[in-house]
Amino acid sequence: MSPSARRAAASIAGLLLVLGAWWRVTANAGSGAEADRDTYGRLLRYVEVDDSDVGLDLIEQGLAVARYDSRTGQPHDREFAYRAADDASADLCGCDPR
């Protein structure tokens, strides 16, 4: 599967996690206003379905990587859990810069 097809599959997997379920979007509570938006002005949020972090689930499945955190000037509350999951998972999406 090509890298673009793997990224599309990861996007679809994320979408399927939130369709037909109760979900919520939460802000990064502990790092202040500087972590509210990325360097392009986009809002930074966590998506949760049934108390499960969709981003973390995708990282654990190898369908996403923990790329944006304090190493890139965008600290967030869950970055250490994201990094640990990223280190423990296979890169199925072909998007890991390592």
Domain boundaries of the chain, sorted by first residue: 3-88
Which segments of the chain have a pLDDT < 50?
1
> Which tokens is 51 given?
């108390």
Q: Residue 28 in contact with residue 47, Cβ under 8 Å? A: no
Fold of 3-88: OB fold (Dihydrolipoamide Acetyltransferase, E2P) (2.40.50)
Residue 40 backbone zone (phi > 0: left; psi -120 to 50: alpha; other: beta): alpha
Contact 61, 89 (CB under 8 A): yes
Q: Quick one: DSSP state of residue 52?
A: E
Helix (H, G, I), strand (E, B) or coil at 19: coil
